[in-house]
Amino acid sequence: MPEDLLAKITESVIGGEPETVVALTRQALEMGLEPMEIINRGLVPGMDIAGEKFSRGEFFLPHLLIAAKGMQNAMDLLEPELVARQQAISSVGTVVIGTVQGDIHEIGKSLVGTMLSANGFKVHDLGVDVSIENFVVKIEETGANIVGLSALLTTTMVGQREVIEALIEAGLRDLVKVLVGGAPINQSWADEIGADGYAEDAMGAVQVAQELLG
Ligand code: B1M
């Protein structure tokens, strides 16, 4: 049953069993489950529960790391499937994406990058803990239409504002749309810092990016 399999994926993410996560993810694909369904109903709930346990002091950093390893290994399997399922469209725009300075959370940012790429955007992923200068330099170098700024911590979300300020200073603000996201981010924060768009998840990011480029 797909429900049972998704529940087992969730459990094995929480239980810190990366090899089982990958084996079950492969099984789910073979059963015909859609990659986004496996991500949203199997893997992400596992990460959320691991995060909640961490907040309650039941889990420590090594638990989060091993849970993340399970999800990342499963994503290695799912990413080519995600890309293959989308229609190849000629490039609809260029995106520079990264997680802001001081923040090393990678999985959500990478998923957003993969979905943008699968939907025809040319994506330059700068990785995590990206300095303000690196964002600016890459935007100049690539002539990107959109910059995607991910932040997972309340202490690093201010980095999104700092990138916007640096873009204004560099005279690039009118040339590039700013898309922000990450667990602590919401529309009112995006409005407050003068971002052009906010998305709650990876599919939402694709939709907003498409809207931003008209
Ligand atoms: Co961290 N961590 N973590 N962590 N971690 C959170 C974010 C936390 C909520 C856990 C908790 O306490 N409940 C908490 C933040 C609290 C806060 O600030 N309010 C937290 C903390 C406190 C920390 C540390 C400070 C812990 C410590 O050291 N004491 C530390 C900080 C390190 C740093 O960055 N400097 C830390 C470290 C880590 C690990 C390294 C162990 C690991 C990351 C490993 C890795 O990425 N390679 C980790 C993990 C795994 C998590 C949780 C459990 C899961 C994050 C994740 O990957 N989710 C997380 C709790 C949680 O989120 N439930 C937590 C799955 C992923 C698909 O979702 O990243 O939300 P997400 O991305 C979504 C959306 O947010 C959105 O779309 C994505 C896909 O749908 N989105 C965008 C993301 N970016 C977007 C960009 C967009 C648009 C949408 O446009 C550009």
Domain 93-213, CATH among 3.40.50.150, 3.40.50.720, 3.40.50.280, 3.40.1180.10: 3.40.50.280
Distance CA 103, CA 114 (A): 19
**61-92: pLDDT as tens digits:** 999 999 999 999 999 999 999 888 775 555 78
Residues of each domain in the chain carrying CATH 3.40.50.280: 93-213
Pick the CATH number of 2-84 from 3.30.450.40, 2.60.40.10, 1.10.287.1080, 1.10.1240.10: 1.10.1240.10
97 Cα to the center of ligand 1, angstroms: 16
The 177-181 sheet, strands edge to edge: 121-125, 93-99, 146-150, 177-181, 197-198
Q: How far is the CA of 46 from the centre of ligand 1 (A)?
A: 13
Residue 68 CB–ligand 1 contact under 6 Å: yes
Check pocket membership of 108 for ligand 1, CB cut-off 6 A: yes
The per-residue pLDDT for range 82-136, each reduced to its tens digit, is 888 775 555 789 999 999 999 999 999 999 999 998 888 999 999 999 999 999 9
Residue of 105, 179, 212 best suited for mutating to test ligand 1, as the one with most atoms within 8 Å of CB: 105
From-to residues of CATH 1.10.1240.10 in the chain:
2-84
Q: How many CB atoms lie within 10 A of CB 102?
A: 15
- State pLDDT tens for residues 168-199: 999 999 999 999 999 999 999 999 999 999 99
